[in-house]
Structure 1
Amino acid sequence: MVRVLFLHPDLGIGGAERAVIDAALALKSKNHEVQFVTAHHDPSHCFQETKDGTLKVTCVGDWLPRKVFGRFYALCAYIRMIYAAFYVVVSPSMQHDVVFCDQISACIPVLLLSSARVLFYCHFPDMLLTTRKSFLKTLYRKPIDKLEEYTTGMAHKVLVNSHFTAGIFKETFKSLGHVQPAVLYPIPDFDALNKAVDKEFVEKLPQKPFLFLSINRYERKKNISLAVMAFELLVEKHGISKVHLIIAGGYDERVTENREYYKELKDLVDHLSLTDHVTFLRSFSDAQKRSLLSSATCLLYTPENEHFGIVPIEAMYLQCPVIAANSGGPLETVADGATGYLCDPAPDKFSEAMSKFVEDENLHKKLGEAGKQRVIQKFSFKQFTEQLCDIVENLAQDKSHNISPIWILTIISLVFLIIVIYLPWF
């Protein structure tokens, strides 16, 4: 048995959270001991497994700020994770052999103060998730970006969620040519997907022959407006009597962007006179998500260069074809023309693919059946579990690649130096 501790910044609802929860469930199914430590966990806004006690969760450092004067999100996130890492190292109740951390690598030097092995899961380089629109923003991000690169290289093992992300990892972290990240695809929770749909919820869905569905967090990078504009073109071509668009997404009232983008999308729908033909849902349950995917004609997956994306896999498993942007993770998950369509991220291209389902009523069933078979063959829980367990068990036994405590303390000092430099900005 290996004792695995998962260290995650914010254990809410999202693809990254789903991935680490599935990893914990996989290890637990093989009788390994697992627990979570996080800087934030809200029982009213989390996955069921962390709500009902299936997975033990310890929340530390939530009193630390998430932002200062509406800024410094990254720095605050780093401070919160470093604080949580110190808690993991010094707390006698945190017994572990391997620490599985993700998203923020700045905590790794602290974790190396213990004898545990550190496994870092890189969903995507954090430095690529923000823009540098001003000199001050560039100046602010420069040391944070460097810190991300150096500390990522200190992990005993690095995992990525797709071959696409592995390529981006190599291009982004130039100094880590010696690091060979292993690909571990996130997988759907088959047990959850096999549960019954919410019949009462299904009955309340718009009664149209063709329901097009978007499932993404309410974030601008998810490009949900593309689904709205493509739907407008579809309406122009086929009329409004047969089609309806449902936009469902993770939503957190604490997150300013969630609130702003939700309003922007509502305003766009109003401007296009589609208010009665587009339904918005926020923070739905797992049963409602299954119901949506089981009822939809197809899923519109609009993010560009998405590093993986678990929703297309969940959709295909529930026999819901996928129309996705032809970049990033969907290139590895969606079979173009067989389980859905990969399109340029333009309204006319998405609309053309949507029209195929309206014009051929048998297409949904044909592509849906092929999608489920593809998921079973390539993204099964069994394959995921075996691969992850091998990695964790080998890592727990491997005592090589130990880093000098002096070097660790040097890196920790550098982390705190960066924080001190930024303090006057506060």
Structure 2
Amino acid sequence: MVAGGLCLCGLLRLLSSLLIPALFLSGILCLCLFVLLWGIRLWIQQRKKQLASSGTDGKQPLTVAFFHPYCNAGGGGERVLWCAIRTLQKKYKNITCVVYTGDRDVTGEDIIAGALRRFNIKLSHPVKFVFLEKRYLVEAALYPYFTLLGQSLGSVLLGWEALLKCIPDVYIDSMGYAFTLPLFKYMGGCRVGCYVHYPTISTDMLSVVRNQDTRFNNAAFITNSPLVSKFKLVYYYLFAFLYGLVGSCSDVVMVNSSWTLNHILSLWRSAACTSVVYPPCDVQTFLDIPLEEEKSITKYSIVSVSQFRPEKDHPLQIRAFAKLLEKRRPVQQPPLKLILIGGCRNQQDEERVNKLRRLCEELGVAEHVVFRINIPFEELKQHLGEATIGLHTMWNEHFGIGVVECMAAGTVILAHNSGGPKLDIVVPYEGHITGFLAEDEDSYAETMARILSLSPEKRLEIREKARQSVHRFSDRHFEETFLLSVEPLFK
């Protein structure tokens, strides 16, 4: 017993003797790290001065850079990007807008032409494109496990490449890579802002893992193992803590919906500099489509507008549509088509479309489903103008530009009973309904059948109220709220 006590005392004395050297060494390492980072910052600032050039009026133009590695993707996030740039060019004359992009397979002229073709957006001044070579570092396919952490750390390396190629005065992350914010703020000496379309991690994602629910980002082998689920939950909590730290570095935070606002406030705790800026929807273009009462119906079409990404849940649309067809009597009712409209960003998206085609064949509905990929804006308008139902199935969609466009075009919208559509878009207007919400295959099929069974007069009433409600999502409203939010970055 005495020997054991002596051994324990000796161990404690050894540990105490090592404590002071360990603390001293840790202090030296921290000091060296601080000096190294400060030296890098000074080097970057010196490099910025060397690369700087004066404008035509002799004043130094302000460089405003947007971090958007997929700026040519053609989705709602890209529309926000181009509208934001157009808005800044109108307001501030002595600025140079820069876009960090990984779209190296196209030229800058192609990207600008694509923005005009897809979104009907024309910029008043040229944009400088900085083409990044390491975009693969933020590809989800590179990280089969610990995807969130891998992509976030990859974004820091991609951000470092961007910073070395162009050092801006104002940096705006417009695609959700929050881990780049401290890099540009503390290393680049920039004023930083961000537009959050969707939080990288949310309390909903934590609850999915905690409750062991199977989702596209929570595989069955994880939900079937309590031990693995607990490990993933700890990982998610640690990541949420880091996400909150980097997000709080932002001088200006813009979010696209009430749903996103709630999550960002709970994670970043930056209420003083956070505001809701609804994404710009080209509602006027769609409102120009004549809204007339249905008289002689020869066919019905159900249109879905969204990129072919897993979270959009196109399989749910196809399965619900198959159940709808089972309930109908084709002999007595007009034929019905499901038209899936969306953008393909890469080979993974194209493979996803091929899987959806195979699903249609398996369910026997291939002849009733049409895929329209990367179509021009005018063709999109035509499909929406002819559609009866606008379909949207993403769970916890952060906002839903496609939902707004469908409502503005005059379709009867059917969206998921969650996220932005539930809280901000498909809400009553002047006491009247503006659309419908559903949650699973059966409720989607039943609601589509209900919409088709309504009288033309009732559908027209819903379409009219929906159209009246979408003016708050216009380009003009976006410009006003965006400029008000980013004003601190230009003082």
| Percentage identity across paired residues of the two chains | 23
- The reply on whether 1:106 has 2:179 as its aligned counterpart is yes
Alpha-carbon distance in structure 2 between the residues aligned to 1:146 and 1:69: 20
- The reply on whether 1:292 has 2:383 as its aligned counterpart is yes
Query: 2:75, 2:307 within 8 Å by CA — same for their partners in 1?
Result: yes
- Residue-by-residue CA offset, 1:358-404 (whole Å, 9 max, x unaligned): 4423344333332222112x11222211111122223321xxxxxxx
Query: 1:323, 1:343 within 8 Å by CA — same for their partners in 2?
Result: yes
Alpha-carbon distance in structure 2 between the residues aligned to 1:99 and 1:352: 41
CA shift in 2, pair 1:355/1:40, >3 Å: same
- The reply on whether 1:115 has 2:185 as its aligned counterpart is no
Match of 1:189 in 2: 282
CA shift in 2, pair 1:359/1:101, >3 Å: closer
Match of 2:299 in 1: 209
Query: 1:196, 1:287 within 8 Å by CA — same for their partners in 2?
Result: no
CA shift in 2, pair 1:213/1:196, >3 Å: closer
**Partner amino acid, structure 2, of 1:212:** I
Unaligned runs of 5+ in 2: 1-60, 206-216, 223-227, 291-296
- The reply on whether 1:78 has 2:152 as its aligned counterpart is yes
CA shift in 2, pair 1:340/1:25, >3 Å: same
Aligned mate of 2:481, from 387, 392, 407? 387
Match of 1:356 in 2: 451
Match of 1:218 in 2: 308
Alpha-carbon distance in structure 1 between the residues aligned to 2:80 and 2:443: 33
- Residue-by-residue CA offset, 1:204-260 (whole Å, 9 max, x unaligned): xxx9521011122223322222322332333233333421111222223422xx345
**Partner amino acid, structure 2, of 1:254:** Q
Query: 1:233, 1:348 within 8 Å by CA — same for their partners in 2?
Result: no
Alpha-carbon distance in structure 1 between the residues aligned to 2:352 and 2:329: 27
Specify which structure has the bigger relative contact order, considering alpha-carbon pairs within 8 angstroms and separated by 6 or more residues: 1
Query: 1:99, 1:116 within 8 Å by CA — same for their partners in 2?
Result: no
**Partner amino acid, structure 2, of 1:9:** P
Query: 1:82, 1:107 within 8 Å by CA — same for their partners in 2?
Result: yes
**Partner amino acid, structure 1, of 2:367:** D
Superposed counterparts of 1:142-161, under 5 Å:
144-161=239-256
Q: TM-score with structure 1 length normalisation?
A: 0.77
Match of 2:336 in 1: 243
Give the SS at the match of 1:158. Answer: strand
CA shift in 2, pair 1:157/1:272, >3 Å: same
Query: 1:328 Cα deviation (Å)?
Result: 0.8
Alpha-carbon distance in structure 1 between the residues aligned to 2:174 and 2:487: 16
RMSD (Å), alpha carbons: 3.4
Give the SS at the match of 1:102. Answer: coil
- Residue-by-residue CA offset, 1:255-282 (whole Å, 9 max, x unaligned): 2xx3454344323322322121111222
Query: 1:4, 1:100 within 8 Å by CA — same for their partners in 2?
Result: no
Alpha-carbon distance in structure 2 between the residues aligned to 1:59 and 1:138: 37
Select between 238-247 and 356-365 the one with higher mean Cα deviation: 356-365
The structure that is helix-richer by fraction is 2
CA shift in 2, pair 1:74/1:80, >3 Å: same
CA shift in 2, pair 1:56/1:351, >3 Å: farther
**Partner amino acid, structure 1, of 2:419:** G
Q: TM-score with structure 2 length normalisation?
A: 0.68
- Residue-by-residue CA offset, 1:283-307 (whole Å, 9 max, x unaligned): 2222222222112112011112111
- The reply on whether 1:164 has 2:255 as its aligned counterpart is no
Query: 1:41 Cα deviation (Å)?
Result: 5.1
Query: 1:322 Cα deviation (Å)?
Result: 0.8
Give the SS at the match of 2:452. Answer: helix
CA shift in 2, pair 1:148/1:374, >3 Å: same
- The reply on whether 1:25 has 2:86 as its aligned counterpart is yes
Query: 1:9, 1:104 within 8 Å by CA — same for their partners in 2?
Result: no
> How many residues matched?
382
Unaligned runs of 5+ in 1: 198-206, 398-426
Alpha-carbon distance in structure 2 between the residues aligned to 1:57 and 1:118: 19
Query: 2:74, 2:115 within 8 Å by CA — same for their partners in 1?
Result: no
Query: 1:341 Cα deviation (Å)?
Result: 1.2
Alpha-carbon distance in structure 2 between the residues aligned to 1:49 and 1:104: 22
Query: 1:208, 1:244 within 8 Å by CA — same for their partners in 2?
Result: no
